[in-house]
Structure 1
């Protein structure tokens, strides 16, 4: 049995000015390593919250969540060492060069091959020639490619991406999306991606629409999501 994430009957709500706001209720979602998933829907529907719940970074209001590794069932907190994240804002450290930004997760794990592996991943995303440049010296598309390399350098089993092409022009967005999907496929990682982009959503094996508190499975040829 492959590693996977199980969310069952989950709900998420919060309070503002003594009023309870419910984003969604009683949702089920299974995410398997090696598969790609996109979550689409209108702004404010709770897409990013669902992504954070699936990654174990936020706790569900109700329902159950688990990380299943073969025959072992554990809490989603066990997923943290097996997951990487990519965001709309690149979150690169401005004082570090591209290679040191990519190497950082490995250095924090005490890997003495961090720089060698980081350089290999920069080459994979086509930025080996920019290894010694800082984020301020890179375009938005280049920064996002560095962020992809950083997320994948320690070979996680699951990658979570929140609007990873939202700050990019169309050409850069297409380039980054292709690199992201190809790298996850090559690495055997699951990719769970939140997007408003119809073209990007269609690249995934599984597409969901989150709207009006419901999570609906969508066929890629009938998606009702916004264009880029």
Structure 2
């Protein structure tokens, strides 16, 4: 059963050098499974903070973030194991091979098929030939593919990506974007991407601009091709 993440009157602030900094307040947004969202805006606007709140990795200063499915409203904790997160810096464990980096989340859950599932996903992201390579033996684009496989290996309901193409060259960035949108579309996951790239943002079915404490919808004409 598909569901959605609902943000209600969301606010986030923090204290810096004795002064209170208010990133945003009163934000209302709904993230549906099976749809893609891009959040853009100037540096310091709070894009990454918003992503951390929507994914349940941080708690808001005010307001609520809930998961709604089948007419029932629950906290995000109820779907914690159904959320995948992709970081700009990859966060792969350097001492582990690509295979074991991807298998680790499943192993921690006691999944006896962890290795086989990890192999399947590394093949899906085009790295079947790099199973036994460690991060330092791979390019940035390859490391990001490993990170994507690790985030999607347990087929989450929602995938969150913070500047997933920010450290990559143009071709690698395009390949990673193709991979993200295809995988999430095929598995009916909700995808939320924070990005400075207008090209990447326009590929999402919904685009929002976070600036001056407001999160406004941005209209665009890009329509992604969907395979028949």
TM range (shorter): over 0.9
- Structure 1 window deviating more from structure 2 (148-157 vs 14-23): it is 14-23
Matches of residues 121-200 of structure 1 in structure 2 within 5 Å?
Answer: 121-200=121-200
Residue of structure 2 equivalent to 1:38: 38
For 2:34, what is the secondary structure of its paired residue?
Answer: coil
Residue of structure 2 equivalent to 1:225: none
* CA positional deviation for 1:56: 1.1
Q: Is the 8 A contact 1:55 1:79 kept in 2?
A: no
Give me the whole-angstrom Cα distance separating, in 1, the residues matched to 2:71 and 2:114.
32
Matches of residues 184-223 of structure 1 in structure 2 within 5 Å?
Answer: 184-221=184-221
Give me the whole-angstrom Cα distance separating, in 2, the residues matched to 1:148 and 1:16.
33
Give me the whole-angstrom Cα distance separating, in 1, the residues matched to 2:221 and 2:43.
22
For 1:220, what is the secondary structure of its paired residue?
Answer: coil
Give me the whole-angstrom Cα distance separating, in 2, the residues matched to 1:221 and 1:20.
39
* CA positional deviation for 1:220: 2.1
Residue of structure 2 equivalent to 1:226: none
Matches of residues 49-64 of structure 1 in structure 2 within 5 Å?
Answer: 49-64=49-64
Give me the whole-angstrom Cα distance separating, in 1, the residues matched to 2:80 and 2:25.
25
Q: Is the 8 A contact 1:56 1:79 kept in 2?
A: no
For 1:175, what is the secondary structure of its paired residue?
Answer: helix
Q: Taking structure 2 as the reference length, what is the TM-score of the superposition? A: 0.95
Give me the whole-angstrom Cα distance separating, in 2, the residues matched to 1:48 and 1:192.
11
Q: Is the 8 A contact 1:125 1:179 kept in 2?
A: yes
* CA positional deviation for 1:93: 0.5
Name the count of aligned residue pairs: 222
Give me the whole-angstrom Cα distance separating, in 2, the residues matched to 1:153 and 1:26.
34
- Structure 1 window deviating more from structure 2 (75-84 vs 90-99): it is 75-84
* CA positional deviation for 1:69: 2.4
What is the aligned-residue RMSD (CA, Å)? 1.1
For 2:93, what is the secondary structure of its paired residue?
Answer: coil
Q: Which runs of 5+ in 1 are unaligned?
A: 223-228
Q: Which runs of 5+ in 2 are unaligned?
A: 223-228
1:134-185 Cα distance to aligned partner (Å, 9 max, x none)? 0000000000000000000001000000001111011111111110111111
For 2:166, what is the secondary structure of its paired residue?
Answer: coil
* CA positional deviation for 1:71: 2.3
Q: Taking structure 1 as the reference length, what is the TM-score of the superposition? A: 0.95
* CA positional deviation for 1:221: 4.1
Residue of structure 1 equivalent to 2:225: none
